[in-house]
Amino acid sequence: VAVVGPGRADAAETELAESVGRALAARGAVLVCGGLGGVMEAACRGASGSGGTTVGILPGLDRAQANPHVQVAIPTGLGEARNALVVRAADALIAIAGEWGTLSEIAFAMKTGKPVVGLGTWELLRAGRPVEGIERAGGAEDAVERALAAARSA
């Protein structure tokens, strides 16, 4: 399961991301992310601290760019194009808050038919009407449960 979200996060987003990481580890799911700070780092801290496995797919060429809770760091040198690889490496996406990079990951996942669960993330309209697709979760546990269920049935 990929956890995506911005490289800077406020206290509430950090707490949420860390809880998502813990819940993923408790379920035995591997956490894949972009490997940097903010939401990514908090999720890795939560997962790694609970005995889970964390993978960081980095934009740059330097493994040292990874946050300290990434166990397997993959420096790609692809820049933001690595967002497509984060999505491809996962069976489902949990999007927390989110800036433009997060939006690109949501779009890639939807385009390629992967389930997306949102926690306070982007809302999307076309022609003034909400667009279906992102499943909204009520909290960290709920998000992980929905993502794993969706990944299994996908």
Mark the segment that binds a second copy (CB under 8 A) among 15-23, 41-49, 50-58, 138-146: 50-58
Report if residue 46 touches a second copy, rule: CB under 8 A: no
- 70/18 Cα distance (integer angstroms): 13
Residues 62-91 that bind a second copy (CB under 8 A): 72, 74-81, 83-85, 88-89
Residue 18 to residue 86: CA distance in whole angstroms: 19
CA distance 56 to 130: 32
Q: Please tell me whether residue 27 binds a second copy under the rule CB under 8 A.
A: no
Question: Helix 11-26 to helix 38-49 angle, to the nearest 10 degrees?
Answer: 40
Q: Does 127 bind a second copy (CB under 8 A)?
A: yes
Q: How far apart are the first and last CA of the chain?
A: 13
> Interface with a second copy by CB under 8 A: which range of 9-17, 39-47, 94-102, 140-148?
94-102
Residue 23: CB minimum distance to a second copy, A: 20
Q: Is residue 122 a contact point for a second copy (CB under 8 A)? A: yes
Q: Does 112 help bind a second copy (rule: CB under 8 A)?
A: yes
Taking the C-alpha atoms of residue 23 and residue 92, their distance in angstroms, rounded to an integer, is: 15
CA distances from 138 to 29, 81, 134, 152 (A): 20, 30, 13, 20
Which is nearer to a second copy, 110 or 143 (by Cβ)?
110
Based on CB atoms, which residue is closest to a second copy, 50 or 76? 76
